[in-house]
A and B are shown apart, each in its own frame.
Chain A
Amino acid sequence: MTVKWILHWTPTPGSVVNSQILSEISQCVESFVNAVKDGRWKATLTFYRPNLRDQSIPSEFPRDFLGISLLEQPNKYYFIIRGNKIILEADSTILTIMEKLQSYKSKVALNFEGVQYKMGDFQMKVVKVVPNQAESLRGILIEIEYLPLSSIEKAKPIMEEFLEVWREVMSKKSLPGHFTQTEPHFAEYKLPDNYTSQHTAIQYAAALAQLIQSAQLRG
């Protein structure tokens, strides 16, 4: 699997995330010389909470337990406990098992809905973050993929160079915000240098956590 970087949109203080900004960002991608629209993409992230018999007893169970499904891995599901830096990849039947166990219940689900663009050795996705049962835009992400390489270390300088180009394109639009990459801490999750869907799941979880934190700070 080839290396991906996921960045999240951080609005400047006082500004908001809206569909106008999403449209401007998409135009930036489309303005790349060889960019071709290449279909849609989706992932879903679900927050789980422990199903406690007695709510009054303090819970010692993880508060940051979440699950992710990715379109490119239809038969897999990923569980993450961010605080413990642990990720589990399982068959999607794990969801049936969790339902039968009834020890954890889904609390909130968010969809990542992306439009994919091919551009030579690179691929980009412009991703909007929307709640599962609503249309309101909660955040914007971009995903940059470098197709020739699977090694995260080897891809790093090339991705950084691409990011410079991307930032230059974005600067011409003077949008109220910028894209930031949250450090995914792959080594702490004990993941190898070879990129996998587990790396993708961790990046989306990290980006979302950052989006939530920024939104909370903005009040």
Chain B
Amino acid sequence: MECVVQGIIETQHVEALEILLQGLCGVQRERLRIHEICLKSGPNLGPVASEVRLLCDLEQAEPSWTVRHIGGAMRGAGAEQISVLVRTMVESKASKNVLRMFYLLGYKLDHELLRVGFSFHFNRGAQITVTVSSINKMLKVHATDEAVPVTPGIQLVEVTAPASAETYAEVASAVSSFCEYLAPLLHLSKPGISTGVVPTAAAAAASLMSDGGGTTL
């Protein structure tokens, strides 16, 4: 299970966001270059069509693979009251021929993208990960060297935290609280709920850049 919120920020303000995150998290950022391959089951396979994502971490010397299954989001009155999305999510590290294995099992390529950016991993009431990345599409199948931004000038910010059925409320609260610190630069909300860029972003960014994050927002 995980708690998730997303938002967008203009690329020109990413540096300011990084300064802010550095100050808030107290850890070093990690570079991110992930090839995300979304596969769908072929016709006639399974009672309903299924989707699975393969993530290849290209930042490391030896690319490493993760299989990720994202399930349905929590629903109901309780879910609507929470400002973060709570959904089932299962991951498994896998050896490098995982893509070939899934193709042989009858899965087909639905879409793929390349995320390039950075992330922060820290603990603040929950184990939180903030990822800031440009989303790029490949012009040829699996050609990560020839990727172009889907939305030039705009980057995606994701805040995620693992949770369980027992802890999701507490984790959601920790994520929400953290997101308030980022409010001057960007608005974070449940995926699928579009909020656009924040009007105060330019001013907040300028403030962060001028004194390296010393100003309290």
Tell yes or no: A215 within 8 A of B by CB: no
- The answer to whether B98 and A51 have CB atoms under 8 Å apart is no
A contacts with B, residue count (CB < 8 A): 32
Residues of A within 8 A of B (CB): 50-54, 57, 59-62, 65, 79, 81, 84, 86-94, 96-97, 100-104, 190, 198
- Tell me the interface secondary structure of chain A in the complex: mixed
Closest Cβ of chain A to B125, distance in Å, is: 25
- The answer to whether B45 and A103 have CB atoms under 8 Å apart is yes
Closest Cβ of chain A to B34, distance in Å, is: 18
Cβ 8 A contact of A57, one of B41, B44, B106: B44
Cβ 8 A contact of A51, one of B46, B52, B91, B92: B46
Closest Cβ of chain B to A184, distance in Å, is: 17
- The answer to whether A86 and B67 have CB atoms under 8 Å apart is no
- The answer to whether A79 and B101 have CB atoms under 8 Å apart is yes
Cβ 8 A contact of A102, one of B47, B90, B91: B47
The distance in angstroms between the C-alpha atoms of A102 and B106, with both chains bound, is 13
Tell yes or no: B75 within 8 A of A by CB: no
- The answer to whether B97 and A86 have CB atoms under 8 Å apart is yes
Cβ 8 A contact of A103, one of B67, B88, B98, B105: B105
The distance in angstroms between the C-alpha atoms of A144 and B44, with both chains bound, is 44
The distance in angstroms between the C-alpha atoms of A57 and B202, with both chains bound, is 59
- The answer to whether B105 and A104 have CB atoms under 8 Å apart is yes
- The answer to whether A62 and B104 have CB atoms under 8 Å apart is yes
